[in-house]
Amino acid sequence: MSDAKHTLLPLLPTTSALTFGTYTLKSGRQSPYFFNSSLLYTASLHHAVCSAYASVLTSPPFTSKPQSQYSSSSTLSESSNPTPIPIPTYDVLFGPAYKGIVLSGSILPFLLLQAQHTTNPTTISPFHSISYAYNRKEPKPHGEGGSLVGCPVKDKRVVIVDDVITAGTAIREAVNLIREEGGIVVGVVVLLDRQGRGGEEEPRSALGVASEELGVPVKAVIRFEDLIGAVEEGRIPGAGEEELRRMKEYRERYRSRD
Protein backbone atom coordinates (compact mmCIF):
# COMPACT_ATOMS: atom_id res chain seq x y z
CA MET A 1 0.00 0.00 0.00
CA SER A 2 1.35 3.43 -0.93
CA ASP A 3 2.20 5.89 1.83
CA ALA A 4 -0.48 8.24 0.49
CA LYS A 5 -3.21 5.58 0.69
CA HIS A 6 -1.95 4.50 4.12
CA THR A 7 -2.36 8.10 5.32
CA LEU A 8 -5.78 8.59 3.74
CA LEU A 9 -7.66 5.56 5.03
CA PRO A 10 -7.74 6.41 8.78
CA LEU A 11 -8.92 9.94 7.95
CA LEU A 12 -12.07 8.86 6.11
CA PRO A 13 -14.31 8.54 9.20
CA THR A 14 -13.43 12.04 10.46
CA THR A 15 -16.20 13.70 8.43
CA SER A 16 -18.28 10.51 8.16
CA ALA A 17 -17.14 10.00 4.57
CA LEU A 18 -16.81 6.36 5.66
CA THR A 19 -19.38 4.96 8.08
CA PHE A 20 -20.38 1.50 9.27
CA GLY A 21 -23.83 0.05 9.84
CA THR A 22 -26.53 -1.36 7.57
CA TYR A 23 -27.19 0.53 4.34
CA THR A 24 -29.46 -0.29 1.44
CA LEU A 25 -27.70 0.50 -1.83
CA LYS A 26 -29.37 1.48 -5.09
CA SER A 27 -28.90 -2.12 -6.23
CA GLY A 28 -30.94 -3.32 -3.26
CA ARG A 29 -27.93 -4.91 -1.57
CA GLN A 30 -27.45 -4.53 2.19
CA SER A 31 -24.00 -3.04 2.69
CA PRO A 32 -22.10 -3.00 6.02
CA TYR A 33 -20.42 0.28 5.12
CA PHE A 34 -21.20 3.47 3.25
CA PHE A 35 -18.82 5.78 1.44
CA ASN A 36 -19.78 9.38 0.63
CA SER A 37 -17.10 11.31 -1.24
CA SER A 38 -19.12 14.54 -0.91
CA LEU A 39 -17.94 14.71 2.71
CA LEU A 40 -14.24 14.84 1.83
CA TYR A 41 -14.27 18.61 2.19
CA THR A 42 -11.72 19.45 4.90
CA ALA A 43 -8.23 20.67 4.05
CA SER A 44 -6.55 17.61 5.56
CA LEU A 45 -8.82 15.16 3.73
CA HIS A 46 -8.57 16.97 0.40
CA HIS A 47 -4.79 17.01 0.72
CA ALA A 48 -4.72 13.29 1.48
CA VAL A 49 -7.16 12.44 -1.33
CA CYS A 50 -5.21 14.38 -3.98
CA SER A 51 -1.92 12.90 -2.79
CA ALA A 52 -3.39 9.39 -3.06
CA TYR A 53 -4.68 10.06 -6.59
CA ALA A 54 -1.23 11.35 -7.53
CA SER A 55 0.42 8.18 -6.22
CA VAL A 56 -1.69 6.20 -8.71
CA LEU A 57 -1.11 8.64 -11.56
CA THR A 58 2.67 8.59 -11.11
CA SER A 59 2.81 4.78 -11.30
CA PRO A 60 2.24 2.21 -14.07
CA PRO A 61 0.10 1.93 -16.16
CA PHE A 62 -0.02 5.74 -16.15
CA THR A 63 3.74 6.04 -16.48
CA SER A 64 6.09 4.41 -18.93
CA LYS A 65 9.43 2.74 -18.32
CA PRO A 66 11.60 5.13 -16.27
CA GLN A 67 14.45 6.98 -17.86
CA SER A 68 17.74 7.98 -16.34
CA GLN A 69 17.50 11.48 -14.90
CA TYR A 70 20.96 12.28 -16.27
CA SER A 71 21.95 12.78 -19.88
CA SER A 72 24.67 10.71 -21.51
CA SER A 73 27.01 13.68 -21.17
CA SER A 74 26.59 13.73 -17.39
CA THR A 75 29.65 12.91 -15.30
CA LEU A 76 27.40 10.66 -13.19
CA SER A 77 26.74 7.15 -14.46
CA GLU A 78 23.27 5.64 -14.58
CA SER A 79 24.33 3.13 -11.95
CA SER A 80 24.82 6.02 -9.50
CA ASN A 81 21.27 7.24 -10.09
CA PRO A 82 18.92 5.47 -7.61
CA THR A 83 15.83 7.45 -8.56
CA PRO A 84 14.91 7.30 -12.27
CA ILE A 85 12.11 9.49 -13.57
CA PRO A 86 8.76 7.91 -14.49
CA ILE A 87 7.34 9.34 -17.70
CA PRO A 88 3.60 10.10 -17.78
CA THR A 89 1.65 8.39 -20.55
CA TYR A 90 -0.99 11.15 -20.58
CA ASP A 91 -1.18 14.90 -21.16
CA VAL A 92 -4.44 15.97 -19.51
CA LEU A 93 -6.52 15.11 -16.44
CA PHE A 94 -10.21 15.46 -17.24
CA GLY A 95 -12.78 15.90 -14.46
CA PRO A 96 -16.44 15.21 -15.30
CA ALA A 97 -18.84 17.73 -13.74
CA TYR A 98 -19.32 18.10 -10.90
CA LYS A 99 -17.09 16.15 -8.50
CA GLY A 100 -14.38 15.60 -11.07
CA ILE A 101 -13.95 19.35 -11.60
CA VAL A 102 -12.24 19.93 -8.25
CA LEU A 103 -10.16 16.78 -8.60
CA SER A 104 -8.80 17.53 -12.08
CA GLY A 105 -7.19 20.80 -11.02
CA SER A 106 -6.30 19.94 -7.43
CA ILE A 107 -4.34 16.80 -8.27
CA LEU A 108 -1.87 18.60 -10.57
CA PRO A 109 0.45 20.08 -7.89
CA PHE A 110 0.58 16.69 -6.19
CA LEU A 111 1.88 15.10 -9.38
CA LEU A 112 4.90 17.35 -9.09
CA LEU A 113 5.31 16.59 -5.38
CA GLN A 114 5.04 12.83 -5.94
CA ALA A 115 7.68 12.98 -8.66
CA GLN A 116 9.94 15.42 -6.80
CA HIS A 117 12.00 12.74 -5.06
CA THR A 118 12.77 11.15 -8.41
CA THR A 119 13.95 14.32 -10.06
CA ASN A 120 17.37 15.88 -10.15
CA PRO A 121 17.07 19.49 -8.85
CA THR A 122 18.44 20.73 -12.16
CA THR A 123 15.92 18.73 -14.19
CA ILE A 124 12.39 19.78 -15.13
CA SER A 125 9.88 17.21 -13.93
CA PRO A 126 8.17 15.33 -16.78
CA PHE A 127 4.88 16.07 -14.98
CA HIS A 128 5.28 19.86 -15.17
CA SER A 129 3.24 20.19 -18.36
CA ILE A 130 0.31 17.94 -17.37
CA SER A 131 -2.85 20.04 -17.70
CA TYR A 132 -6.47 19.84 -16.60
CA ALA A 133 -9.84 20.19 -18.27
CA TYR A 134 -13.45 19.69 -17.30
CA ASN A 135 -16.87 19.97 -18.84
CA ARG A 136 -19.79 22.28 -18.24
CA LYS A 137 -23.16 20.65 -17.66
CA GLU A 138 -24.59 23.08 -20.20
CA PRO A 139 -22.55 24.41 -23.18
CA LYS A 140 -21.73 28.11 -22.91
CA PRO A 141 -23.19 30.06 -25.87
CA HIS A 142 -21.15 33.25 -25.31
CA GLY A 143 -17.57 34.25 -24.46
CA GLU A 144 -15.18 31.42 -25.20
CA GLY A 145 -18.21 29.15 -25.58
CA GLY A 146 -18.26 25.39 -25.77
CA SER A 147 -18.62 22.56 -23.30
CA LEU A 148 -15.02 22.30 -22.10
CA VAL A 149 -12.97 24.48 -19.76
CA GLY A 150 -9.20 24.31 -19.39
CA CYS A 151 -6.74 22.64 -21.72
CA PRO A 152 -8.00 21.88 -25.25
CA VAL A 153 -7.98 18.09 -25.53
CA LYS A 154 -7.60 17.77 -29.30
CA ASP A 155 -4.81 15.26 -30.05
CA LYS A 156 -4.06 14.99 -26.32
CA ARG A 157 -3.89 11.80 -24.25
CA VAL A 158 -6.48 12.11 -21.51
CA VAL A 159 -7.02 10.38 -18.15
CA ILE A 160 -10.47 10.83 -16.59
CA VAL A 161 -10.55 11.36 -12.81
CA ASP A 162 -13.78 10.96 -10.84
CA ASP A 163 -14.99 9.71 -7.45
CA VAL A 164 -16.74 6.41 -8.16
CA ILE A 165 -18.13 4.28 -10.96
CA THR A 166 -21.61 2.89 -10.40
CA ALA A 167 -23.49 2.37 -13.65
CA GLY A 168 -20.62 4.02 -15.53
CA THR A 169 -22.92 6.55 -17.20
CA ALA A 170 -20.89 9.64 -16.26
CA ILE A 171 -17.65 8.04 -17.44
CA ARG A 172 -19.16 7.06 -20.81
CA GLU A 173 -20.50 10.58 -21.30
CA ALA A 174 -17.05 11.98 -20.52
CA VAL A 175 -15.40 9.57 -22.96
CA ASN A 176 -17.80 10.55 -25.72
CA LEU A 177 -17.26 14.25 -25.10
CA ILE A 178 -13.47 13.92 -25.11
CA ARG A 179 -13.53 11.92 -28.33
CA GLU A 180 -15.87 14.43 -29.97
CA GLU A 181 -13.29 17.11 -29.15
CA GLY A 182 -10.51 15.07 -30.74
CA GLY A 183 -8.95 13.77 -27.52
CA ILE A 184 -7.65 10.26 -26.86
CA VAL A 185 -8.84 8.61 -23.65
CA VAL A 186 -6.01 6.49 -22.22
CA GLY A 187 -7.30 5.70 -18.73
CA VAL A 188 -9.64 6.34 -15.84
CA VAL A 189 -8.89 6.75 -12.12
CA VAL A 190 -11.63 6.73 -9.48
CA LEU A 191 -11.44 7.02 -5.72
CA LEU A 192 -13.17 3.80 -4.66
CA ASP A 193 -13.57 0.34 -6.16
CA ARG A 194 -16.24 -1.56 -4.25
CA GLN A 195 -14.99 -4.76 -5.95
CA GLY A 196 -18.50 -6.20 -6.03
CA ARG A 197 -19.96 -7.88 -9.08
CA GLY A 198 -22.34 -5.84 -11.17
CA GLY A 199 -25.33 -8.14 -10.65
CA GLU A 200 -26.49 -11.73 -10.50
CA GLU A 201 -25.84 -12.07 -14.23
CA GLU A 202 -22.73 -9.84 -14.28
CA PRO A 203 -19.68 -11.38 -12.58
CA ARG A 204 -17.44 -8.39 -13.29
CA SER A 205 -17.15 -5.28 -11.15
CA ALA A 206 -18.17 -1.85 -12.46
CA LEU A 207 -14.47 -1.08 -12.99
CA GLY A 208 -13.96 -4.34 -14.84
CA VAL A 209 -16.89 -3.65 -17.13
CA ALA A 210 -15.68 -0.10 -17.83
CA SER A 211 -12.12 -1.24 -18.55
CA GLU A 212 -13.24 -3.94 -20.99
CA GLU A 213 -15.74 -1.69 -22.75
CA LEU A 214 -13.38 1.28 -23.08
CA GLY A 215 -10.24 -0.73 -23.76
CA VAL A 216 -8.16 1.36 -21.34
CA PRO A 217 -6.91 0.82 -17.77
CA VAL A 218 -9.44 1.76 -15.09
CA LYS A 219 -7.86 1.98 -11.62
CA ALA A 220 -9.01 2.94 -8.14
CA VAL A 221 -7.17 4.80 -5.39
CA ILE A 222 -8.85 2.65 -2.71
CA ARG A 223 -10.21 -0.86 -3.10
CA PHE A 224 -12.62 -2.64 -0.78
CA GLU A 225 -9.71 -4.97 0.05
CA ASP A 226 -7.75 -1.94 1.30
CA LEU A 227 -10.59 -1.02 3.66
CA ILE A 228 -10.72 -4.56 5.02
CA GLY A 229 -6.96 -4.59 5.50
CA ALA A 230 -7.00 -1.28 7.37
CA VAL A 231 -9.80 -2.51 9.66
CA GLU A 232 -7.85 -5.73 10.33
CA GLU A 233 -4.87 -3.60 11.36
CA GLY A 234 -7.04 -1.52 13.71
CA ARG A 235 -6.39 1.66 11.76
CA ILE A 236 -9.99 2.73 11.05
CA PRO A 237 -11.70 4.53 13.96
CA GLY A 238 -15.13 3.07 14.73
CA ALA A 239 -14.48 -0.29 13.07
CA GLY A 240 -13.77 -3.40 15.10
CA GLU A 241 -14.29 -7.16 15.00
CA GLU A 242 -18.01 -6.99 14.25
CA GLU A 243 -17.55 -4.55 11.37
CA LEU A 244 -14.72 -6.68 10.01
CA ARG A 245 -16.85 -9.84 10.16
CA ARG A 246 -19.72 -8.20 8.28
CA MET A 247 -17.40 -6.74 5.63
CA LYS A 248 -15.86 -10.15 4.98
CA GLU A 249 -19.31 -11.72 4.69
CA TYR A 250 -20.28 -9.02 2.20
CA ARG A 251 -17.10 -9.67 0.23
CA GLU A 252 -17.78 -13.41 0.02
CA ARG A 253 -21.36 -12.85 -1.10
CA TYR A 254 -20.72 -10.21 -3.78
CA ARG A 255 -17.08 -10.69 -4.80
CA SER A 256 -16.47 -9.97 -8.50
CA ARG A 257 -14.35 -12.18 -10.74
CA ASP A 258 -11.95 -9.39 -11.79
Cα 167 vs. chain centroid, distance in angstroms? 17
Q: Active site residue: 26, 65, 137, 142, which one?
A: 142
Q: Give the C-alpha separation, 35 to 226, whole Å.
A: 14
Q: Active site residue: 140, 154, 156, 248, which one?
A: 140
Domain assignment present for residue 23? The answer is yes
Domain assignment present for residue 77? The answer is no
- Residue 25 CB: number of other CB atoms within 10 A? 12
Q: Give the C-alpha separation, 237 to 233, whole Å.
A: 11
Q: Tell me what pLDDT residue 176 has.
A: 93
Domain assignment present for residue 166? The answer is yes
Domain assignment present for residue 185? The answer is yes
- Lowest average pLDDT, out of 24-28, 114-118, 127-131, goes to 114-118
Domain assignment present for residue 40? The answer is yes
Note the pLDDT tens digit of each residue in 33-56: 999 999 999 999 999 999 999 999
Domain assignment present for residue 78? The answer is no
Nearest to 18 by CA among 42, 2, 36, 44: 36
Q: Tell me what pLDDT residue 117 has.
A: 58
Domain assignment present for residue 214? The answer is yes
Residue 150 sits in which domain range? 2-63+85-254
Domain of 152, CATH number, reads 3.40.50.2020
- Concerning whether 142 is annotated as a catalytic residue, the answer is yes
Q: Give the C-alpha separation, 258 to 148, whole Å.
A: 33
Count structural domains, the chain: 1
Pairing mode, if any, of strands 157-161 and 92-95?
A: parallel
Domain assignment present for residue 79? The answer is no
Q: Tell me what pLDDT residue 125 has.
A: 82
Q: Tell me what pLDDT residue 146 has.
A: 72
Q: Tell me what pLDDT residue 73 has.
A: 41
Note the pLDDT tens digit of each residue in 78-98: 445 555 678 999 999 999 988
